């Protein structure tokens, strides 16, 4: 019998693409712990990049620093998982999509799940969550995240990177997540479908937001697909034009008409 997988899992993707939903689904598994966003791991990349000429004066190799980062970050995550009775840790920080190369050096056994959503729906969600200017900027941000993650993925070994489309996730939750857990080498567990009934360390703001959205969508289920294609009614002409100028090739590449 093969050993149970133990490598870390990183959930990445442009903000407002469904990464939090993926986090909670993974966190519902009996073996996997996925806590709050960390964000700061990308700051440590400076040690072996922009700050390397200074850090090299300490006389340690880059591998030394990578190992120290892994000890600190991985140690914290392992302890958090163990405190929750779990054996494997995951991290959901969307901006790590821009740092897969570095994270892959720190954790050579890491697996990456990239959640991809139609960029125009991402723009609508940016406006609702962050305001109109963020919505406008997402026309540039979204294709940049997609390109960066996919470029890094092309350099990873097979079995380390997996893409999940948001519309498939909310359209057929069970089959999509069964494929995700097969990629991770984990057994399927039915309670994942009732992720909202499992304990998670999340802010009250998120729970209130989900409840209000579910009520607005008139969907009692924990996962609903009413926001797929929301851009058709809610994205204004100016941002639509911006997406055509900045993202049409990415939209076509991903099959979004």
What's the pLDDT at 208? Answer: 65
Predicted model pTM: 0.93
What's the pLDDT at 207? Answer: 63
User: Is 9-253 CATH 3.40.50.300?
Assistant: yes
In angstroms, the CA 162 to CA 141 distance is 21
In angstroms, the CA 127 to CA 118 distance is 15
Residues 6+ positions from 54 with CB-CB distance below 8 Å: none
CA atoms within 13 A on the CB side of 169: 27
CA atoms within 13 A on the CB side of 14: 28
Indicate the domain borders of the chain: 9-253
Burial (CB < 10 A; 0-12, 13-18, 19+), residue 62, is middle
In angstroms, the CA 15 to CA 141 distance is 9
Question: Are 178 and 188 contacting, i.e. CB atoms less than 8 angstroms apart?
Answer: yes
Beta bridge mates, 58: none
Could you read off the pLDDT tens digit of each residue along the chain, which spans 257 residues?
A: 467 888 999 999 999 999 999 999 999 999 999 999 999 999 999 999 999 999 999 999 999 999 999 999 999 999 999 999 999 999 999 999 999 999 999 999 999 999 999 999 999 999 999 999 999 999 999 999 999 999 999 999 999 999 999 999 999 999 999 999 999 999 999 999 999 999 999 877 666 666 666 666 666 666 778 888 899 999 999 999 999 999 999 999 999 97
> Which of 91, 84, 85, 83 is closest to 107 using CA atoms?
91
Please work out, in degrees rounded to the nearest 5, the angle formed at the alpha carbon of residue 200 by the alpha carbons of 29 and 131.
115
In angstroms, the CA 247 to CA 165 distance is 17
Residues 6+ positions from 41 with CB-CB distance below 8 Å: 69, 73, 91, 93, 96, 99, 103, 106
């Amino acid at each position: 019998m093969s050993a149970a997988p133990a490598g870390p899992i990183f959930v990445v993707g442009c903000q407002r693409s469904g990464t939090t939903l993926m986090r909670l689904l993974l966190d519902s598994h009996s073996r996997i712990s996925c806590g709050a966003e960390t964000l700061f791991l990308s700051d440590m990349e400076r040690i072996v990049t922009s700050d390397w000429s200074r850090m090299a004066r300490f006389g340690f190799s880059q591998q030394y620093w990578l190992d120290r980062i892994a000890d600190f970050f991985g140690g914290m995550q392992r302890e958090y998982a163990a405190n929750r009775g779990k054996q494997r840790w995951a991290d959901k920080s969307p901006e790590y999509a821009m740092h897969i190369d570095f994270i892959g050096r720190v954790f050579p056994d890491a697996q990456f799940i990239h959640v991809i959503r139609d960029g125009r729906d991402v723009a609508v969600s940016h406006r609702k969550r962050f305001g109109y200017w963020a919505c406008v900027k997402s026309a540039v941000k979204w294709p940049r995240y997609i390109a960066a993650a996919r470029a890094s993925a092309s350099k990873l070994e097979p079995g380390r990177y997996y893409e999940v489309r948001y519309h498939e996730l909310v359209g057929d939750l069970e089959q999509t997540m069964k494929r995700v857990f097969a990629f991770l080498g984990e057994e399927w567990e039915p309670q994942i479908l009732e992720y909202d009934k499992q304990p998670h360390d999340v802010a009250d703001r998120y729970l209130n937001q989900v409840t209000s959205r579910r009520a607005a969508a008139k969907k009692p289920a924990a996962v609903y697909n009413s926001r797929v294609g929301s851009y058709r009614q809610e994205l204004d002409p100016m941002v639509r034009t911006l997406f055509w100028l900045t993202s049409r090739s990415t939209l076509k590449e991903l099959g979004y008409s």
